[in-house]
Chains A and B, each alone.
Chain A
Amino acid sequence: MFVPILGVINAYWFALPLILAISLVYAASRHEAWGRILRHAARLFVMITGVLALATAILLLINTQV
C-alpha cells in the first residue's frame, strides 16, 4: 500500500489537501456558478492557510522566548 510512503512525509503537509477539500466543499455549498466556486475556494484556502501559518509562527515565537 501507499501508507508506508506517506509515513516519511512531514505530518504538517497533510493539512494542505484537507484545507483544499474544506475550501472547495464550503465554496460549492455557497454558490452554483463554477467560477464563483473556484474563486471563493481559492480565497478561503489562502485565508485558512495564512491563519494557520500565522498561528504557527506566533506559537513558535512564544516557544523560543520562554
Chain B
Amino acid sequence: MDRSTTVTDTPLKNRSLAALLAATWPGLGHLYQGRYRKGLLYLICIFGLYAVGFALGDGANVYWSWTNPLRDPEHFRLYYLGQFWVGLPAWPAVLQATLVHFGHQPLFNGFMAAPLLDPSMDENVRRVMEGVVRRAFSLHQKYGGLKEIGDIYTTIAGLLNVLAIYDAFEGPAHRDETTADEPDHESSGTKAEGATA
C-alpha cells in the first residue's frame, strides 16, 4: 500500500468539541471539522430519520419521565434512552419531565411532556397534562401503527448519532485506506493535532 496516499490527516481539530457538537445536533461536529459532506450525510440521515419519526408520532412519541425503572417499569420510557442521543431536537423532553417532576406546569402546552397523570399534580399542571394524555391516546385511533414506526425511527436515529459522535471524536474506523482513486474530503490540507494520536 502506498502510504503517501493514505487517509491519515482527517481534520479532527478539537476532537472533544467536535464530539460535543455532534452530540448537540447530528452532523454539526463534522461541519465544525470541515468534513462537510459527511456532516451533511449525518444531518440528512439522522436528523431526517428523527424528523420523520417525530412526525409519524405527531410529536407525542418523544418524551421522558423521571421514573425508577425498577419500581415502575410500565411508565419507564425505554425508547428515550436512544432518542436522547439525537441531541437538541430531543432534549426538551428532559426539561419538560423535570418541570413536571418538581410540580411545575410544562412549557408550550405540554409539548414533549410524558403523557402521565399523577393524583398529586397541581390543578393547572393536571389540566395541561390531561391534554397531553388525550393527544397521546388519540394517536392510535388516528394513525394506527405509525406511532410505533415513529418510535423506532426516532430511537434508531439517536443510536445512529452515537456512531456519528464517535466518528467526530475518533475519526473513521479505517484510517489507512488508499484514496488514490478518489478525493477523501474537502479540507484534506488541514491536519489535526488529535488525528495522529
Give every chain A residue within 8 A of B45 (Cβ-Cβ): 20-21, 24-25
Q: 1/0 per residue A3-43: CB within 8 Å of B?
A: 11011000100100110111011101111111111000000
Interface residues of B in 140-173 (CB under 8 A from A): 143-146, 149, 152-153, 156-157, 160, 163-164, 166-167, 171-173
How distant is B175 from chain A, measured CB to nearest CB, in Å?
Answer: 7
- Give the shortest distance, in Å, between B105 (CB) and chain A (any CB): 27
Q: Any chain A CB within 8 A of the CB of B179?
A: yes
Asked whether A24 lies within 8 Å of B41 as measured between CB atoms, the reply is yes
> Given A3-B55, A28-B41, A33-B7, A18 and B173 touching (CB < 8 A)?
no
User: Which residues of chain B are near A35, meaning CB under 8 Å?
Assistant: 181-182
Q: B52 within 8 Å of A by Cβ?
A: yes
The number of residues on chain A lying at the interface, defined by a beta carbon within 8 Å of a beta carbon of chain B, is 26
Are the C-beta atoms of B7 and A21 separated by less than 8 Å? no
From known contacts A7-B143, A18-B156, A21-B49, infer whether A31 and B174 are also in contact, taking CB-CB under 8 Å: yes
User: Which B residues are within 8 Å of any A CB, using their own CB?
Assistant: 7, 10, 35, 37-38, 41-42, 45-46, 48-49, 52, 55-56, 58, 143-146, 149, 152-153, 156-157, 160, 163-164, 166-167, 171-175, 177, 179, 181-185
Q: Could you tell me which A residues sit within 8 Å of B by CB distance? A: 1-4, 6-7, 11, 14, 17-18, 20-22, 24-26, 28-37
